[in-house]
Structure 1
Amino acid sequence: MEGSFRDRGAAKVSRDERTVTVHVPLTFRRKGGRKVVISPTGELQRPARARYIDDALLRSLVQAFEWKRMLDEGECVSVSELAGATKLNHSFVSRVLRLTLLAPDVVEAILDGSQGTLVQRQAFLRGLPHRWAEQLP
């Protein structure tokens, strides 16, 4: 089988060019009950930080920007009218609308799931610092 491949650098391609074989010099070891990757230099390779999408926070953020659009375009002229139209409590609508005041970096982190588990919806609904720099965890 080895003779049926042509060498193209680190990858070998079969004569019919339907199969590619790549050799990656890695070692897998168990550490603390988990498998870890050891690089060719012997260094432990840490996995990229896992993304955590907080569905409740994401839905609230989307809802807040939708409600802001409705207010900006005049579909509802006040938060009270918006609360009536959505059949929700005025206080709740006001708190959710505060999410539109989040720093752009925080909004982006929530959207791509890199905000971490310490950023939670309830904390944002209780209140936000006015300065964007103070909003970052």
Structure 2
Amino acid sequence: MNEILIDKTGQPEVITASDGSLTIAVPIRIKRRGSRKAVALPDGSAVQPRPWDDTPTPIQLALARGHRWLAMVESGEARTLSEVAEREGMDRAYVSRMVNLTTLAPDIVAAILDETLPPEVTLFDLASGTPLLWDEQRAIIDR
């Protein structure tokens, strides 16, 4: 059997078998990126995503919208969330839920951005009735 082993430095080691078969062992770690998977190499570096994999996830877009809409109110560009909703052509309740995302704990925001939230946590879980205490928010994720 032919066997190619790649050590942590990325250097392959070729082992030849008498029956001509080939086995390839590659030390990689598969990391979840939203609904996609990413490869982490043994040295800790990540494989760069293909250009079409750079699209933000829906929860990342919602987080960005929430911050943008809150900034519109804080800067005086809009007086209320109702005004923001009207300008954006969105439902006021939707705008309010997305603005709720601006109160998330920093580690939850980081998990959203690096796509490491548990798959069972939904946008609705985080945006509707979001507790203000970060420990309570973390409890939503840890259930």
What are the residue-to-residue correspondences of 1:17-56 with 2, within 5 Å? 22-23=11-12, 47-52=29-34, 55-56=57-58
What are the residue-to-residue correspondences of 1:49-128 with 2, within 5 Å? 49-52=31-34, 55-128=57-130
The structure with higher relative contact order (CA 8 Å, sep 6+) is: 1
Instruction: Show structure 1 runs of 4+ deviating over 4 A.
Output: 35-38
Q: 1:129: which partner in 2?
A: 131
Larger Rg: 1
In the alignment of these two chains, the number of paired residues is 104
In the superposition, relative to structure 1, how do residues 132 and 36 fare at CA in structure 2: closer, same or farther (>3 Å)?
farther
Give the SS at the match of 1:50.
strand
Contact 1:79 1:93 (C-alpha < 8 Å) held by counterparts: yes
In the superposition, relative to structure 1, how do residues 116 and 24 fare at CA in structure 2: closer, same or farther (>3 Å)?
farther
In the superposition, relative to structure 1, how do residues 84 and 105 fare at CA in structure 2: closer, same or farther (>3 Å)?
same
Contact 2:100 2:128 (C-alpha < 8 Å) held by counterparts: no
How does the TM-score come out when normalised to structure 2?
Answer: 0.60
How does the TM-score come out when normalised to structure 1?
Answer: 0.63
Instruction: State the distance in 2 between where 1:81 and 1:74 align.
Output: 11
Q: For structure 1, which runs of at least 5 residues remain unmatched after alignment?
A: 1-10, 12-20, 26-34, 39-44
Name the % identity.
28
Q: For structure 2, which runs of at least 5 residues remain unmatched after alignment?
A: 1-8, 15-22, 36-55
Please provide the CA RMSD for this pair: 3.0
Instruction: State the distance in 2 between where 1:132 and 1:91 align.
Output: 22
Counterpart amino acid of residue 132 in structure 1: W
Contact 2:78 2:84 (C-alpha < 8 Å) held by counterparts: yes
